[in-house]
Structure 1
Amino acid sequence: MTTTVTTHDQTLVADLRATLTGDVIDPADHRYDQARRVWNGLIDRRPAVIARCASRADVVAALAAARTHRPPVSIRGGGHQIAGSAVCDDGLVIDLSEMTAVTVDPSSRTARVEPGARWADVNIATQRHGLVVPGGEVSETGVAGLTLGGGMGHLQRAYGLSCDALRSVEIVTADGTVRTADRDEHPDLFWAVRGGGRGLGVVTAMEFVLQPLGPEVAQALVLYPYDDAERVLAAWRELVPRMPETVSPEFALWGIPPDPGFPAEMHGAPVVMVAGLYAGPAQEGLEVLAPLARLGTPLVDATAITDYVTSQSGSDPLFPAGARYFFKSHFLETFDDDAAAAVLAAGAARPTPQSLVIVRTMGGAIARVGEDESAFAHRAAGFNVSIDAGWTDAAMDDAAIGWARRAWDRLTPSATGGVYVNFAGLDEDAHRDAVFGAHAARLDAIQRTYDPDGILTAAAARH
């Protein structure tokens, strides 16, 4: 497939090259195919031009070109979002991937993070001072995208979502104005960026409040035989309510990872995985996490004290860039027998060893933020179930996506109706009312206030 370059596109490219200090990459550039790729190999979109911004001034210039030429616009931070919204067909990609600086102020326990940074960048910088931001579970994930969509992770019950750690954001709105949004200045915009996803502007910096943790942490990782899945899940459900908020326990049905610690013949074999990270003193954490290894007879109990950076990057090799991914999710108030049966059925039907079903516990610090204090609309949920299809062969596309959708449908009667925007399938799966619930109308109004012409939210007619 080729990209048709119109006179309109050529003018857009020329304007960008005249105003940006960063690279401007069009389909004739030898870097184009690499620049348009994102983490999810399922996504194959061909933009008219990629504006690789080097600074906030470049973002202002790119938005000026967008206002003049009205192409479809997408914004790329880490490029890790499942739906691939970082890149669009026949439009302008405002690429922030070169803006990766992380500056930590240990005295105020804050960090300023540019929008192209990944969680690995943040973790390394903050851990030099024994501090953390509650981030995601794969350190190659972009900070901006995860945070703007909410930001679930290993520390969520202790410290809240990633968006809950935001103190302010610097954002360039569609009119080219650089604004700082916090609880006092542009509070409507600050409310919206905490869980409202994309379409509000281009975030050029985020200021996070940090929490003390590390460098040593206790982490539980326990593997049980797949044949014991029903019994282990029942025991896990009984244990979770008794665990402190310093742990966010997880239960997964997956394949044994291709780790040298396991015999090669076991790689990919189905397994039950139970995990948790302790947000507190490491030695104390070993005792708190110990019950996770007493849910049955483990195949492997890898619970140990490790360093935080290692703990947060351990899953990176299991989600390699360029593989194909399709994730769907549900929020649940309670994890009842019907939900457990649906999870077990989904696990039994996994289409590939890389595919998994994972249950994450919520509550704790997430629920202590008022339901209407941010755009994240799922504070009351007790659990999130994510159905994650992963595969490499394009011939498996229909089978893998179909499995995830069928598993999601089976779980629907047990769910709240809410969907996590970061695990919402492809864009056509992300129904606005399900993602944002009662906040959808307020979000729409804020978007109209800051982007009345739909520069960032609508594909304009081509001239």
Structure 2
Amino acid sequence: MPGGFDISTKALRDELDGPLLLPGDDGYDEARAVWNAMVDRRPRLVARCANTADVAAAIRFGRTHDLEIGVRCGGHGILGAAVPEDGLMIDLTPMGAVRVDPRARRARVQGGALLGALDVASQAHGLATTAGNVSHTGVGGLTLGGGMGWLARQHGLSCDNVVSFEVVTAEGRRVQANAEDNPELYWGLRGGGGNFGVVTDFEFALHPEAGRTLLADFFFELDDAPAAFRGWRDLNATAPRQATFTAWVGDKDGRPQASVGLVWVGDPDEGRKLLPALRALGRPAAESVRELTYLELQTMDDSVEGHTFRRYWKGQYFSELSDAAIEAFLLRGTPDGRGEGLPAASLQAYGGAIAAVPVADTAFSQRDALFEFVAAARWDDPAEDEARMAAARRYGRALSPFASGAYVNVLADEGSAGVRSAYRTEQLARLTALKDAWDPDNVFHLNHNIRPSRATPGGPA
């Protein structure tokens, strides 16, 4: 490195309360590792921020030295954009504290916290808020893109439950965004992703939650699945808000199978009243009905979603689920639903409190979504990379004719076309104006980027 850069690095190290890591330092490789094992980039610097002042200092340093800036909270983004090659990674993971005020039913959550920490701290007081499906997801990334979870049909998306944000801007300023202070920024942070600054603190509304749940899955052979799926879809139309209908297709016991079912958050005995109708959909090859605590529900997929696999996915929203869409879902981009290395896929119901929020109230644009589709490929041999990604892309193309939009948190490598599919035209225009106001130089572009209006193709701004 040039000598001037070395001197400035020392100055930044002295300014930070948290450690500054360079290649070769203890902890550097652990800090740059994220959920998708395909991501193997090497930042020039990793600022492991201890507080908001550290974040501001790191942003100013990165801009002064013209470094690309990535921001890590949970590291679950499929592209691993938080890890910039030869750039500066602002690592928020040391900022993982959660403070709950049970009387006010509020949680203050630092920007590097994981969902599990929020769940545990809230459930200690019989409270909860919408917080995804996997406990080691980052609160920040999930919430800024919208934030689905098992409580969303009852209480809205994660972003709908944010009362206030603390943000460090592209200029290194610390600001508040809520209904009274910077209300337009508050609007954009609820669904617009990490485009407008680094959120270092969230204040969430919490809701009484006794912590009892019911999980039910009914498995069908592939030939029997279409009729079951059609009935499951029709039952979903009248499902109570405590129920989130779910479906899956993949390989089980060496052959393709599919399942329909639900996750019920509330009194399990009430949830069991829906099971006879699900059992009557056909002849399931197997069924699984389990009562779980809410914390068990939130962690049940943690081992499946571990950090050692190579990953790629495609996701879309459906505002309706036609018979043809069901068939395409079950076939997984193939003529007969069979083949080596096909991704598994899921459907998760929206509606309820999600749809009750007027679409203009937040940047999240897909309030009319009925189901979210995700095709997720997972493997461990680098030699399979191209084949696995090609299969997922083929599956995604097969579902595209039925799609009504996309979830920004599930976008992969679709680029600007993916961003356009995630937002309505009027909301994308409003987000662009917000980008012009808060980040006109596109400092925060390692994301599903809302480009400022003066940006030119081929560069960040």
TM-score above 0.5: yes
Distance 1:184-1:47 versus aligned 2 partners, 3 A rule: same
Residue 284 of structure 2: aligned partner = 298
Structural RMSD (CA): 2.2
Rate the CA distance shift 1:37–1:373 in 2: closer, same or farther, 3 A: same
* Distance in 2 between residues matched to 1:372 and 1:7, nearest whole Å: 51
The question of 1:79 aligning with 2:65 is answered: no
Matches of residues 238-249 of structure 1 in structure 2 within 5 Å?
A: 238-249=234-245
The partner residue of 1:435 within 393, 411, 422 is: 422
Amino acid at match of 1:346: R
> Aligned ranges for residues 218-257 of structure 1 at < 5 Å?
218-256=214-252
Q: Which letter does structure 1 place at the counterpart of 2:284?
A: P
Give the alignment partner of residue 41 of structure 1, picking from 12, 37, 44.
37
Partner of 2:258: 272
Larger mean Cα displacement after TM superposition, 271-280 or 122-131: 271-280
Measure, in 2, the Cα distance between the counterparts of 1:338 and 1:87: 40
CA separation of 1:129 and 1:253: change in aligned 2, threshold 3 A: same
1:356 aligns with 2:344: yes
1:140-173 Cα shifts (integer Å, max 9, x gaps)? 1111101111111222222211111111111111
Distance, in Å, in 1 between the alignment partners of 2:116 and 2:217 is: 20
> Partner letter of residue 413 of structure 2?
L
Alignment partner of 2:397 out of 384, 403, 409:
409
Kept in 2, the 8 Å contact 1:283–1:305? The answer is no
**Residue 82 of structure 1: CA displacement?**
1.3
Quick one: which amino acid aligns to residue 341 of structure 1?
Answer: E
Hey, what does 2:270 align to over in structure 1? 284
In structure 1, how many angstroms separate the alpha carbons of the residues matched to 2:261 and 2:123?
22
Structure 2: tracts of 5 or more residues without a match: 447-454
SS in 1 for 2:132: coil
Contact 1:66 1:455 in 2 (8 A): no
Distance change (3 Å), C-alpha of 1:427 and 1:201: farther
Report whether the alignment pairs 1:373 with 2:373.
Answer: no
Give the Cα–Cα distance (whole angstroms) in 1 for the partners of residues 299 and 3 of structure 2: 45
**9-18 or 78-87: bigger deviation:** 9-18
Residue equivalent to 1:259: none
Against the structure 1 CA distance between its residues 238 and 63, is the aligned structure 2 distance closer, same or farther, given a 3 Å change threshold?
Answer: same
User: Given the two structures, how large is their TM-score scaled by the length of structure 2?
Assistant: 0.91
For 2:110 and 2:223, how far apart are their aligned partners in 1?
46
Assess, with a 3 A threshold, how the Cα gap between structure 1 residues 115 and 378 changes in structure 2: closer, same or farther.
same
Relative to structure 1, the CA distance from residue 430 to residue 227 in structure 2 (aligned partners, 3 Å threshold; closer, same or farther) is same
Supply the distance in 2 between the matched residues of 1:406 and 1:9 (Cα, whole angstroms): 46
CA contact (8 A) 1:223 1:272 kept: yes
Tell me the SS of whatever aligns to 1:238.
Answer: helix
Q: Name structure 1 gaps, 5 residues minimum.
A: 257-265
Alignment of 1:138-149 (within 5 A): 138-149=134-145
CA distance in 1, matches of 2:161, 2:403: 27
Q: Report the AA paired with residue 446 of structure 1.
A: L
Q: In structure 2, what is the Cα distance between the partners aligned to 1:332 and 1:105?
A: 38
What is the DSSP-based 3-state SS (H/G/I as helix, E as strand, rest coil) of the residue aligned with 1:375?
coil
CA distance 1:457–1:289, shift in 2 (3 Å): same
* Aligned CA distance change for structure 1 residues 11 and 367 (closer, same or farther; 3 Å): farther
Aligned to 2:159: 163
> Shift of residue 349 of structure 1?
4.7
Query: C-alpha deviations, 1:325-372, integer Å up to 9, x for none?
Result: 11111111110022112101117256437x311112111111111111
- After superposition, the C-alpha distances for 1:388-425 in whole angstroms (9 at most, x for unaligned) are 11111111111111111111111111112x22111111
Partner of 2:450: none
Q: Residue 377 of structure 2: which of 342, 364, 389 is its match?
A: 389
Greater shift, 147-156 or 284-293, is seen at: 284-293
**Residue 269 of structure 1: CA displacement?**
4.4
**2:22–2:46 contact (8 Å) kept in structure 1:** yes
Deviation at 1:271, TM superposition (A): 2.7
User: Residues 31-81 of structure 1, C-alpha deviation per residue, up to 9 Å, x if partnerless?
Assistant: 322221101111121111110001111111111212311210010001111
| Counterpart AA for 1:352 | G
Q: Deviations over 1:251-274 (max 9, x none)?
A: 110234xxxxxxxxx3x6433233
Deviating runs (4+, > 6 A) in structure 1? 458-462
- Which residue of 405, 410, 415 maps to 1:423? 410
Please tell me the residue identity of whatever aligns with 2:341: T
Is the counterpart of residue 314 in structure 1 residue 300 in structure 2?
yes
Query: Quick one: distance in 1 between partners of 2:364 and 2:4?
Result: 38
* Alpha carbons of structure 1 residues 427 and 16: separation in structure 2 relative to 1, 3 Å: farther
SS in 2 for 1:446: helix
Give the length in aligned residue pairs.
446
Q: Is 1:323 paired with 2:323? A: no
Per-residue deviation at 1:6?
A: 5.3
Provide the rounded CA distance (Å) in 2 between the counterparts of 1:432 and 1:9: 36
TM-score, normalised to structure 1, is 0.91
User: Structure 1 residue 128 and structure 2 residue 124: aligned?
Assistant: yes
Partners of 1:26 and 1:49 within 8 A in 2: yes
Structure 2 CA distance, aligned partners of 1:49 and 1:461?
22
Tell which deviates more after alignment, 89-98 or 209-218.
Answer: 209-218
Q: Is the 8 A contact 1:16 1:61 kept in 2?
A: yes
1:137: which partner in 2?
133
Aligned to 1:261: none
Q: 1:126, CA displacement in angstroms?
A: 0.9
Are the equivalent residues in 2 in contact too, given 1:233–1:340 (CA < 8 A)? yes
Offset of residue 101 of structure 1: 0.6
Q: Any conservation in 2 of the 1:253–1:358 contact (CA below 8 Å)?
A: yes
Shift of 1:7: 5.2
Identity %: 38
